[in-house]
Amino acid sequence: MSTNPTLYPTEEEKAQLALATGRTCKQVEKWFFNARHKKMKFVPPSAADALEKWINEHPLDPPTKEEKAELISITDLDEVAIDTSLSMRRMRPNPNRNARQKQKRMKNVPPTAADDHCLLTNWYNEHRSNPYPTKEEKAQLPSAMGKTLKQIRAWFRKASEDQKKTKCVPPSAADALEKWHIEHSLNPPTKEEKVELISITDLDEMTIDNWFSMRRWRPDSRKLNNTDHLKSWF
């Protein structure tokens, strides 16, 4: 049986070791796993720091032969110890490294559904008197947001229906709901609070639910009063 200097035996070698030692393949795998852990534990602190620095600078790439030779000269470790330590350290969670990798991956990630909803809602509120985009605007919105024309039409149809449902709210009731909305840190009302709002506003539960549903997606002038990024599309 050949010697595997990286402490990662092949499947055939695992089977041969299991027969020779009277263990199962799973027990053999466990033994090598523990052996790799022990080997990593014996890495001196200065060498561990050097390896950790290298991993942070090269989060996804294994070292080339030249880089490995440089690490051997820096750490005074042999090739097996370096391979094992790097392998185990990559498996260990590292918040800083994970954050950098996530930031790198997120550069080309498209907007989320919530971002899209917010952009569409901003446009809808800016054109509340005539909330019907032209054919040109409907064609630009899908390409800018990664949606189909059918999805854009469905969104505006639902927004128009929701708006009709809340149109019948009298100004006094709307003021009472707005006041409650702000005083409760923009959170939706509980069942008990909803009963109280029904008694204050003389509205039914469905109308109150529709009002809060629309209000949650309406930009708060205290936090957001900027639709330049959407206007620039037109």
- Separation between Cα atoms, residue 65 and residue 16, nearest integer Å: 30
Q: What is the pLDDT of residues 168-193, one digit of tens each?
A: 677 788 888 888 888 876 677 888 88
What's the domain count of the chain?
A: 2
pLDDT digit string, tens, across residues 64-104: 888 888 888 888 887 777 777 777 666 565 555 455 555 55
DSSP 126-142: HTTTS----HHHHHHHH
Written as one letter, the residue type at 207 is T
101 lies in some domain: yes
- Longest Cα pair distance anywhere in the chain, in angstroms? 87
Q: Are 92 and 64 members of one domain?
A: yes
- Residue 142, both tokens: 């899908």
Picking from 71, 90, 106, the residue at the C-terminal end of a domain is 106
The residue range of the domain holding 226 is: 113-231
Q: Does a structural domain hold residue 129?
A: yes
> Is residue 41 located within the same domain as residue 94?
yes
Last residue of one domain, picked from the residues 90, 106, 122: 106
